[in-house]
Amino acid sequence: MEFLKKIWDSLVAWFIGDRGWMTLLLLLAVVVVGFIVVKIVIAVARRIMNKSKLKGLAGNFIITILKIVLYFAYLIAILRVLNIDTTSLIAVLASCTLALSLALQTTLSNFASGMILVSNHPFKEGDFVEVAGISGVVKSISLFSTKICTGDNKIITVPNSNVAGGEIINYSTESKRRVDMTFGVAYGSDMDKVKGLIISELDKHPLVLHDEGYTVRLSEQGASSLNFVCRCWVNNADYWTVFFDMNETMVKRFEEEGIEIPYNKLDVNIVSAKVEEKQ
227 close to 153: Cβ distance less than 8 angstroms: no
Between 16-30, 198-212, 224-238, the lowest mean confidence (pLDDT) is in: 16-30
Mean pLDDT of 183-195: 94
Q: In what helix (H) or strand (E) does residue 233 lie, and over which residues does it extend?
A: strand 226-235
Q: Specify the 3-state DSSP secondary structure of 129.
A: strand
pLDDT at 5 over 80: no
Q: For residue 195, name the pLDDT band (cuts at 50, 70, 90).
A: very high
pLDDT tens digit sequence for 124-182: 888 999 998 899 999 988 778 899 999 899 999 999 888 888 889 999 888 999 999 99
pLDDT tens digit sequence for 78-135: 777 777 776 776 777 777 776 666 665 677 777 778 777 877 788 888 899 999 889 9
The pLDDT, as a whole number, for residue 67 is: 84
The pLDDT, as a whole number, for residue 161 is: 87
The pLDDT, as a whole number, for residue 192 is: 95
The pLDDT, as a whole number, for residue 87 is: 74
CB atoms within 10 A of CB 131: 24
The pLDDT, as a whole number, for residue 52 is: 64
CB within 8 Å of 54: residues ≥ 6 apart: 62, 115, 118, 119
What is the secondary structure of 179-195 as a DSSP string? EEEEEEE-TT--HHHHH
pLDDT tens digit sequence for 209-264: 999 999 999 999 988 899 999 999 999 989 999 999 999 999 999 999 999 988 77
pLDDT at 22 over 90: no
The pLDDT, as a whole number, for residue 156 is: 93
The pLDDT, as a whole number, for residue 83 is: 74
Query: What DSSP designation does 16 have?
Result: I
- The most distant pair of C-alpha atoms in the chain lies apart, rounded to whole Å, by 137
Q: What is the CATH number of domain 176-256?
A: 3.30.70.100
d(CA 165, CA 187): 46
Q: What are the extents of the domains in the chain?
A: 2-103, 123-170, 176-256
**What is the fold, at CATH topology level, of the domain defined by 2-103?**
Helix Hairpins (1.10.287)
93 close to 72: Cβ distance less than 8 angstroms: yes
Query: Kindly report the CA angle at 201 between 235 and 203, in degrees rounded to 5?
Result: 60
Query: What DSSP designation does 15 have?
Result: I
pLDDT at 59 over 70: no
* Best CATH choice for the domain 123-170 from the list 2.60.40.2580, 2.30.30.140, 1.10.150.530, 2.30.30.60: 2.30.30.60
CB atoms within 10 A of CB 50: 11
pTM: 0.58
Q: Specify the 3-state DSSP secondary structure of 169.
A: strand
